[in-house]
Amino acid sequence: MKCNGMRKEKTKNGRKIDVRCNAELDEHALFCKVCGQPTGALSGPLSAKINYEEVWGKFKPIKSQYYSFSIFIVLTSFLLIGLGIFFSIDLAESFKIDHYLFTNLMLLFLVPFTLIPFGFEENFTDEPFKIAMYLKALKSYPTFFLLVLVNILYFLILKIFCTGYILGITVDPILHPVRFILVLYWITITFPAVLLITRKKMNPIKAVISCYKASAETRWQQFFIMLRLFVMNIIGIAFVGLGLLITIPFSYILIEKYYQSLDEFELFE
């Protein structure tokens, strides 16, 4: 495939004129190496909007087939996390543990259960989720536990440096919005890590590093993916939680689909 971009070229008299690039493009290039023109990948196969619409188009007609699994995972995982956070202050006081540390300790053990579907066999989006699939994939819990631990440690370091937590010092208030931005950035670039762990057998730290490198050009598309999922699940909760029967399995499928798109462009190599 040839690049249709324009580049500057010197004529014999030294003038620079615009000429068509026509450089040969790699199959999975995001930009032309000669003129820097985008290839269309970010507005096509790697577009958040296009991936969202494709997944929803396939998911919508069969969404009812996911209800039993959704009820199962809501009751066994998400509800426990919600109740734990709701009662965390009272529980932390009962155990005489700092509220922040108690909450994160609780999340360390509970959040990996919500990641278990990413341990399903590759291309798990080809068939509706079954409870048996979840039980079989529980063997991935220890690895997801380590991934959650890496995330908690990162957020703890941010809290210490941006709020003075534990250190007992006053910090510049500007660090609070900095912390918020860094949290969003971390979530945006690292969400494919959970699939790198199961698909490519990477350890959590290597997976996070690979995600950072891979997201150099796709981070905004990844941000829009996570933003759409966040809004969808908030709406799902607003409908007395019943909307989660649809939004939760859809979230797993969309993340898997976008990971496949990233992997197809060899961004994790």
Average pLDDT over residues 139-154: 96
CA angle, 80 then 85 then 89, to 5°: 130
Per-residue model confidence as pLDDT tens digits over 163-204: 999 888 888 889 999 999 999 999 999 999 999 999 999 999
Give the burial string for 35-53 (b: 16+ CB within 10 Å, else e).
bebebebbeebbbbeebbe
Using the predicted structure, report yes or no on whether residue 7 has a pLDDT greater than 70.
no
Please report the sign of the dihedral spanned by the C-alpha atoms of residue 97, residue 101, residue 104, residue 105. negative
Residue 166: predicted pLDDT: 86
pLDDT digits (tens, 9 = 90+) for 224-248: 999 999 999 999 999 878 999 999 9
Lowest mean per-residue pLDDT among 15-19, 81-85, 179-183: 15-19
What predicted TM-score, i.e. pTM, was given to this entire model? Answer: 0.90
Q: How confident is the model at residue 12 (pLDDT cuts 50, 70, 90)?
A: low
Q: Classify 40 as helix, strand or coil.
A: coil
